[in-house]
A and B are shown apart, each in its own frame.
Chain A
């Protein structure tokens, strides 16, 4: 792509990736969550791929790494679900503990990130899965089309 696209992509990509991680991490207190934040993060990766080409992005973002990240997200989600099995499947066993265990204040409040029990961790798991899945879709699509161009 042209120099303008590359410069704008260089400036914007860190902000987009950081905003995606912010939406994932604050999924339980603000609009958004694992899927939305993962989609925003993957759109930053898609911007990188469109601006710099799939070959350069593939140097630091391999396909098998994305596959491992996606499997890790799925395993984390189902592992958290099974971890509460002493009481019930998907039981929120972290309530009351120091990790994400605060009881939220009543009425209007600025929001406390250490609330929600296992729900923020499940948001992170879904975010990992969505980031890996959507990035892999765009990356494989770009790699396939660029390799086809070399053959001709």
Chain B
């Protein structure tokens, strides 16, 4: 199962890249999208680690509801 080993190396690296992007983006909507991508990759990592239960919860809460709440909050603010 060499492919699984490669995935276990790539997915955490991509999570770190997404986290750096969240901190680096000036545009708030872009940062929220990067955060959603981080959550989705984290759900994939949970699935690879044989925890599909946690993966479904992470995909539902982290990738969908948190992003929706952030988008609603950012839309209520004004850009100067």
A interface residues (Cβ-Cβ under 8 A, vs B)? 23, 31-33, 35-36, 39-40, 42-43, 46-47, 49-50, 134, 137-138, 141-142, 145-146, 148-149
Bound CA span A68–B56, Å: 26
The interface residues of chain A lying within 8 Å CB-to-CB of B69 are 46, 137-138, 141
Once the chains bind, are A148 and B72 in contact (CB under 8 Å)? no
Chain B residues within 8 Å of chain A by Cβ, number: 18
Instruction: Return the chain A residue nearest B73 by Cβ.
Output: A145
Secondary structure of the B side of the interface? helix
B72 touches A36 (CB 8 A): no
Cβ-closest 8 pairs across A and B: A43-B64, A39-B60, A145-B76, A46-B68, A31-B52, A36-B56, A40-B60, A31-B53
The 14 listed contacts between A and B (C-beta, < 8 Å) are A32-B56, A36-B60, A39-B57, A42-B60, A43-B64, A46-B65, A46-B68, A46-B69, A47-B68, A50-B72, A137-B69, A138-B68, A141-B73, A145-B76
- With A23-B56, A145-B75, A148-B76 as given contacts, are A50 and B68 in contact (CB-CB < 8 Å)? yes
Whether A39 and B65, one on each chain, are in contact in the complex, defined by CB atoms closer than 8 angstroms, is yes
Q: Which residues of B contact A149 (CB under 8 A)?
A: 76
Report if B28 contacts A (CB, 8 A). Answer: no
In chain B, positions 21-80 with a C-beta closer than 8 Å to chain A are 52-53, 55-57, 59-61, 63-65, 68-69, 71-73, 75-76
Residues in A whose Cβ lies below 8 Å from that of B59: 40
How far apart sit A148 and B71, CA to CA, in the bound complex (Å)?
16
Interface centre among B53, B59, B63, B73 (most CB of A within 10 A): B53
Cross-chain contact B73 with A47 (CB below 8 angstroms): no
